[in-house]
Amino acid sequence: MKKLVFIALAVLNVLALNSCGKENNDSSDNEGKSNNTNNQTNNNEEQPTIPSNYYVLSPDGKTLMQWFNTEAKFIDMQADKVLRNVTKFSASLAECNKLVSIILPNNLLILGEGTLGDCSSLASVSFSNNLTTIERKAFEYSKALSSVSLPKSLIYIGDEAFIGCESLKSITIQAVKPPTIRYRVFDERYIQHIYVPAISVETYKKTEGWILYAAKIQAIP
């Protein structure tokens, strides 16, 4: 009888040990899965594409105050998770003589005074569809700029914004209502065509500031 009791106890001990081992393995497996999930989440987290030491932002992260990378050839602000939140561009890129192309962020509302002026190699600019303001001399003497397409949202272009852009032969303005301008926005020595929405051609020609360019204003092809 004692022998049977001893055997029964031994069997129970073996079963208990197996159960604990399984629980530990399940716990380890679950922990491993959790760690793998966390690692995958961290790996998938979007990283900035432009180093933060290339620029200075305002405390709220909405204004680009300074730009330091004068060797940049291509700048895509929209692709960067930090710079895509900028609503005002105040930094001067005048010393970026190698800059060929820039994509402005979709949130940008204001392109500040002199920001992209004297960029001697700048040939292409992609504007935000929310842009409302281009301040004075924003592109002054950017001599490689050959064509520009401005968004429907634009309501103001500052004085001499495109003065000295000797390669700028045509400009397209998508805004149905003529943006406010006052004094010589484009260089009439070089600009040949100003394309606007067909329904707005006559309005542009008769609007103050635009009258100077009336002979060059025509419908978007």
Place of tokens 């709220």: 60
Residue 34 has pLDDT above 50, yes or no: no
Spatial distance between the Cα atoms of 56 and 138, rounded to a whole number of angstroms? 19
Instruction: Indicate the CATH number of 52-219 among 3.40.50.720, 3.40.50.300, 3.80.10.10, 2.40.50.840.
Output: 3.80.10.10
Higher pLDDT, 183 or 137: 137
Question: Residue 43: pLDDT band by 50, 70, 90 thresholds?
Answer: low
Tell me the domain boundaries of the chain.
1-45, 52-219
Q: How far is CA 216 from the centre of its chain?
A: 31
- The β-bridge partners of 149 are 172
Question: Residue 26: pLDDT band by 50, 70, 90 thresholds?
Answer: very low
Q: What is the pLDDT of residue 47?
A: 80
Mean pLDDT over all residues of the chain? 86
pTM exceeds 0.75, yes or no: yes
Write down the H helix ranges in the chain.
2-44, 201-206
Residue spans of beta strands (DSSP E) within the chain: 55-57, 63-67, 74-76, 88-89, 101-103, 110-111, 124-126, 133-134, 147-150, 156-157, 170-173, 193-196, 217-219
Average pLDDT over every residue of 39-68 = 85
Q: What is the pLDDT of residue 141?
A: 97
Residue 150 has pLDDT above 50, yes or no: yes
Q: 66-112, pLDDT tens digit by residue?
A: 999 999 999 999 999 999 999 999 999 999 999 999 999 999 999 99
Average pLDDT over every residue of 42-63 = 88
Q: What is the pLDDT of residue 206?
A: 97
Q: 162-201, pLDDT tens digit by residue?
A: 999 999 999 999 999 999 998 899 999 999 999 999 999 9
Q: What is the pLDDT of residue 183?
A: 84
Q: 119-136, pLDDT tens digit by residue?
A: 999 999 999 999 999 999
Residue 17 has pLDDT above 90, yes or no: no
